[in-house]
Copies of this chain bind each other. A is one copy, B any other.
Amino acid sequence: MKASNGNKHTLADSGYTAWLSYPVLPQGNAYNQYVKWCGAVKVAEENDTVQAALQEWQRGIESMLGIKVSSKPDGLCIAIGTFQGGNELISGVFAEDTLAKVGPEGFAIRSSEENDCIAVGASSPAGVLYGVFHLLRLIGSLQSIEGLDEVVNPVNGLRMINHWDNFDGSVERGYSGRSFLYEDNRFTRDLERIRDYARLMSSAGINAIAINNVNVHALETLFISKYLPDVSRIADVFRLYGIKLFLSVNFAGPMHEGEVGTADPLDPEVRKWWQSKAAEIYAAIPDFGGFVVKADSENRPGPFTYGRDHADGANMLAEALEPFGGIVIWRCFVYNCKQDWRDRKTDRARAAYDHFKPLDGKFNDNVILQIKNGPMDFQVREPVSPLFGALERTNQVIEFQIAQEYTGQQRHVCYLVPQWKEIMEFNTYAKGEASPVKHIVDGSLWGNRYSGIAAVSNVGNDKNWTGHLLAQANLYGYGRLAWNPELTAEQIASEWISLTFGTDPVVSGVISRILLDSWEIYESYTAPLGVGWMINPEHHYGPNVDGYEYSQWGTYHYADHRGIGVDRTVKTGTGYSAQYLGSNAEHYDSLEECPDELLLFFHHVPYTHILHSGKTVIQHIYDAHFEGAERAAELLSMWTSLKDKVAEGLYLQVENRLKEQAGHAKEWRDQINTYFYRKSGIEDNSERVIY
């Protein structure tokens, strides 16, 4: 069976409609149940967002069920709206205590025979939208809509996407074409695409988007002045879908854009400049989200220039935004990027903690620190940043990278939800035994005013948004996980597959396996055992074992002919392991206890060191790389089994990428194995070909 609507819609066939493709559902009991309820819809609100929800509902139902949705119910129907929607239509369906449980962005949903409807109600129009997307998702994945009676609130307050799009149309670490927001230093006029993007984001649960790169160049510095009308037009589109717009700002703005001779955060002129700037912005965009700031990081300007600290810098901006309800998101990606590779005592992994731990409690309460998930930089494997747990009195969000900078650049498939899940479940021991990262991130552990998740976007102007079609699963999965970290990676994959490809269980089984195995596979043929960074400098694609070994970036593996790894222990190394709390510190510090997959992150060991797996380090390297390349080739053959089951356009896109991956995985295998064979002189005990 061909995927149901693959050939009907070129947009769907290109991947453009993504998980809002609404594939035609198969006939059967579920279908009949949906038709029973969904023939009509009731809405009694003119609010734009509620109307957008209604449109989405009609589009989805008409596509999936092939029926017209009437707005004049005669029998069962779907009723959507806010509780305050001007009549009893919605609130009357729910019990009082149900209403009380619905948060500002949450919704309640109830299938009520006595009211002749399934009601989707919310406190806010955005909640209505989320509820409608929820119900569409249930239908799209063939779940029952009878007997529904639940309240759904997002677990995380801030569910954010960071774009690294530049005004010239390039995208820093973009692997899906160019920007669809900008080209040639002007705003694109393709508001239709931006609206479709907002629909996708909203349906995945995103409520905040920063539209420009954290490295704010000369012209982008003017987004908060000259280009404000353009920014405002995008904010209008986002608003419709419950999304707040944020801007990355240049800390040196008062000097570059303004005419203040300094950017010193304690200078009254500077403070005044930002205050009046905030007023200007909010005059144009009343619900503007706030600023994202990369300061004193990788050569960006910041408070250090003036002998001030990060709290001084962030609080100054926070003061300016506070009257308008805005927030400052201050990135913690601060480290010495001019390190001497000869210096083994300086440890980039320590940097974020060393910089920000002493400032705990010093930030205003509309400042949020944005902390990368690991201490280095989005490697395929690294430990969780020890800042999680260390900051007790500071708002914080975790930063993930949906863009696959270090995980195959959307030319290899690497479904990242399992990685993010593992990080979110990591127990920090910050407040007793049960202190997982997810409870820091959702604000519950310390009771923060603001908290949540941010991630670097993986979209561009490629027709299918993400270059690799399967990379859409990361974008979708990120949003879903941000909404509810309790969802499993399997659940999310399964949802995404149904919504994108339809409900054929064979298709679902194969793609699900491809996705769920992909991270492990990618890890197995790239840098081994958590050591990271064996990549080509600058563009970061493809193997290069010594690519960063003699560089200034603080990213070394120290391989010699006896062994490899970075000694980050307390007694003989950089002492990084002591930044962890409770048993984590001892666990990582101990050669015996350290988990295999992070061994080389924490310890320098001989190639003959025996892992918990029973293999030596060198044999593990050989085995993992041979197996990894083989499994990458298997991904391709798994996919080709779907040739007649997936719409041709989608099929071919993925086939091409998986072919490249299979070939490139061999290149990884051979370069890594050859490097270590030449260096160690130790033979592979299976006598496979190493060059």
Residues of A within 8 A of B (CB): 341-342, 543-546, 550, 559-562, 670-671, 674-675, 677-681, 691
Contact = CB atoms under 8 A, between A and B. Distances in A.
Contacts of A543: 550
Given A546-B546, A550-B543, A561 B678 contact: yes
A481 to B, nearest CB: 37
A552 to B, nearest CB: 11
19 contacts: A342-B670, A342-B691, A543-B550, A544-B546, A544-B550, A545-B546, A546-B546, A546-B675, A550-B671, A550-B674, A559-B678, A560-B678, A560-B679, A561-B561, A561-B680, A561-B681, A562-B681, A678-B679, A679-B679
Contacts of A544: 546, 550
A679 B671 CA distance: 16
Shortest 7 CB-CB contacts between residues of A and residues of B: A560-B678, A561-B681, A561-B561, A342-B691, A550-B671, A546-B546, A679-B679
Given A561-B679, A562-B681, 6 more contacts: A342-B670, A544-B550, A560-B679, A561-B678, A678-B679, A679-B679
Contacts of A675: 546
Nearest to A681: B561
Contacts of A671: 550
A546 B671 CA distance: 11
Contacts of A561: 561, 678-681
Contacts of A560: 677-679, 681
A341 B562 CA distance: 25
A339 to B, nearest CB: 13
A477 to B, nearest CB: 34
Contacts of A681: 560-562
Contacts of A562: 681
Contacts of A678: 559-561, 679
A286 to B, nearest CB: 45
A680 B560 CA distance: 8
A398 B338 CA distance: 43
Nearest to A690: B342
A40 B342 CA distance: 66
A543 to B, nearest CB: 7
Contacts of A546: 544-546, 675
A674 B556 CA distance: 13
Contacts of A679: 560-561, 678-679
Residue of A560, A671, A674 with most partner-chain B CB within 10 A: A560
A544 B549 CA distance: 10
A546 B536 CA distance: 11
A680 B681 CA distance: 10
A550 B562 CA distance: 22
A550 B672 CA distance: 10
A401 B674 CA distance: 34
Nearest to A671: B550
Nearest to A543: B550
Contacts of A342: 670, 691
A538 to B, nearest CB: 10
A691 B341 CA distance: 9
Nearest to A342: B691
Contacts of A691: 341-342
Contacts of A670: 342
A139 B522 CA distance: 72
Contacts of A677: 560
Nearest to A542: B550
A543 B671 CA distance: 20
A546 B537 CA distance: 13
A535 to B, nearest CB: 12
Contacts of A550: 543-544, 671, 674
A341 to B, nearest CB: 8
Nearest to A344: B691
A675 B561 CA distance: 10
A544 B546 CA distance: 8
A39 to B, nearest CB: 61
